[in-house]
Amino acid sequence: MIFFYSIPSSDWKYNKVVPPKLRQIPQRSVVPTHVFRRRVDDDVTQGDCGVPSTKILQKRIIGGREARFAEFPWQAHVRISEFQCGGVLVSRWYIATAAHCVSRARPRDISVWLGALDTAAGLDTARKMGVVQKILHPLFQFRMTQPDRYDIALLKLSRPITYMSHILPICLPDFDLELRGKSGVIAGWGKTDTSNGHTGTNHLRSATVPILSKEQCIKWHQSKQISVEIHSEMICAGHSDGHQDACLGDSGGPLIVASSGRYYLAGITSAGFGCGVDHQPGIYHDVRATAAWVRSRIATPSNYDLY
């Protein structure tokens, strides 16, 4: 069974803030086109990262295709109680995901599935892992009607994962990784269309999306009368006609790009206005801005920043 994730980030229990409706899109409803959505050690050198055993990455997320076994060996399925998000394996001990997915969750309530392809089928090849620590980026900022700032978090697994052909880490990017003119690949188990009915997919799906400049991203939104703030740690990706896109339930999943024969984690699926709508591209956390932080945390794991 696939689950749908839209838990908001703010700590309503303590701050007594009424949950914003923009994050509470019910499972069986049409996704409004103008509603803001959230898209939930010893191997630090990553010498064996970013190379799937299939050697091929092609293009439902919205408008994509079903993934093949071992095609995205770094893909993680993150479950928080009855909700879901995506994630990505960055080392034997750590998963990266969107901070808004897990900011209010207790580690003991989070589980991570690695090596999963079809969540409704037998999971003989998948590995279920517990989480003992979550680390939100120190600059993470929940914002109600704009994309969250520094929307990235790390989840420390209860034990190190054993690498296999279908469970391998993604490479972390350097700050100077060039994204201009490139297309990225997104994958997830989230909503596959904007119509009534089933909001998620049991089978992992992927899609290819061109990476946009910040200027183009803002211009596209303005053409739809949407005021959007794209900060330095954000990137946009999507087609002008919106035919391929991430959607509800895909938050936290990876946006990957190819470089020198490997695949690198360029972005973390974060937010957007509607799903699969023309000139309303997806908004992703730019991992180049925080890769050094990720490397420092997975290299020297500690007990602080434990929430």
Catalytic residue numbers read 100, 151, 251
Using CA atoms, how far apart are residues 232 and 259, in angstroms rounded to an integer?
A: 22
d(CA 251, CA 85) in angstroms, rounded, equals 5
Q: Which helix (H) or strand (E) holds 101?
A: helix 99-102
Question: What is the chain's percent helix, strand, coil content, to nearest 5?
Answer: 10, 30, 60
Across 97-134, b (16+ Cβ under 10 Å) vs e yields: bbbbbbbbbebeebbbbbbbbbbeeeeebbbebebebb
The pair of three-digit structure tokens given for residue 117, joined into one six-digit string:
């392809």
Contact predicate 49/262, CB 8 Å = yes
